[in-house]
Amino acid sequence: MANVSAPVVRLEYRKVTMRFEMAGRGALTAIRDVSFSVYDGEVVSLIGPSGCGKSTLLNIGSGLTAPSEGLAFVDGERVEEANVQVAFMLQKDLLLPWRTIVENVMFGVEIQGVPLSERRRRAENLLSSFNLAEFSDHYPHQLSGGMRQRVALARTLAVDPHVLLLDEPFSAVDAQTRMVLQRDLARTLKQSGKTALLITHDLSEAVTLSDRVLVMSQRPGTIIDEITIDLPQRDDPIARRHQPKVNDYVALLMDRLDIGHANLEQQPAGGAA
């Protein structure tokens, strides 16, 4: 057979197309013919203009939305509904205000029926690894935005997924907090060897956190380029940021996205990215 050392594919999109029916205005093609794979332990970023369908890809990968055409696979199994190997995290922390921090971290494992003692153990381990142990019994409104986002990450990791789908997870926090959160994420991903697909608008975030960056076009979104980030220290984005080559990669991505010549008026206003 083929190469025995071929890396394991954790997440794969195969010729995925997504159309949305617009009331009275025909169909809108959000993404067209998207194919790519993410390998075990790899962190891949997805960048592209607003409205190019990045979040739609994430919903398809997590089984929340079925593609119009094409298939998605997680661990070689076709994604047809939500599955326990995938967990996602959004820009919004989605913490439940009536639950304490530790109860919020346990939310996913609780739904999945993990026994109470085990889920409490997992939640407490995660909280202490994120330096949040002393806030276990606080309520979300008592925490800062950065801390809340860290709790959301802990909740995502608590279900022990193979694949993390991250949709602009740090775009709502201030710049300094973001760097700390990026470092926490990078460390955790490296230590646990988890696979991640990261959607971001922040080009230097894409470069400092990823092994590879995929560039998407304007709607209908499709993959127009793939750039391998050949830099050390993927587990420490703050250190990586000091490497001069980071700027070269960012410049390259800007060029690929045609940011210098982009006509902002042609871009759809906000909305679903």
Q: Which residues bind other proteins (CB under 8 A)?
A: 59, 62-64, 81-84, 86-88, 90, 92, 94, 96-99, 107-108, 110-112, 139, 141, 159
Residue 150 Cβ vs other proteins, minimum distance, rounded to whole Å:
16
Question: How far apart are alpha carbons 211 and 214 in whole angstroms?
Answer: 10
What one-letter code names the amino acid at 216?
Answer: M
Q: Which is nearer to other proteins, 81 or 265 (CB)?
A: 81
Burial of 177 (0-12, 13-18, 19+ CB in 10 A): middle
Residue 39 Cβ vs other proteins, minimum distance, rounded to whole Å:
22
Residue 126 Cβ vs other proteins, minimum distance, rounded to whole Å:
16
- Residue 252: name the closest of 206, 221, 220 by CA: 206
Other C-beta atoms closer than 10 Å to the C-beta of 136 total: 16
Region at 33 (left for phi over 0; alpha for psi -120 to 50; beta for the rest): left
Residue 94 Cβ vs other proteins, minimum distance, rounded to whole Å:
5
Q: Which is nearer to other proteins, 140 or 146 (CB)?
A: 140
Q: Which is nearer to other proteins, 94 or 250 (CB)?
A: 94
Q: Which is nearer to other proteins, 99 or 201 (CB)?
A: 99
Structure tokens at 210: 């990823």
Q: Which is nearer to other proteins, 63 or 145 (CB)?
A: 63
Torsion angles phi and psi, residue 75, rounded to 5: 55, 40
Residue 62 Cβ vs other proteins, minimum distance, rounded to whole Å:
5
Angstrom CA distances, 210 to 182, 206, 230, stand at: 11, 6, 10
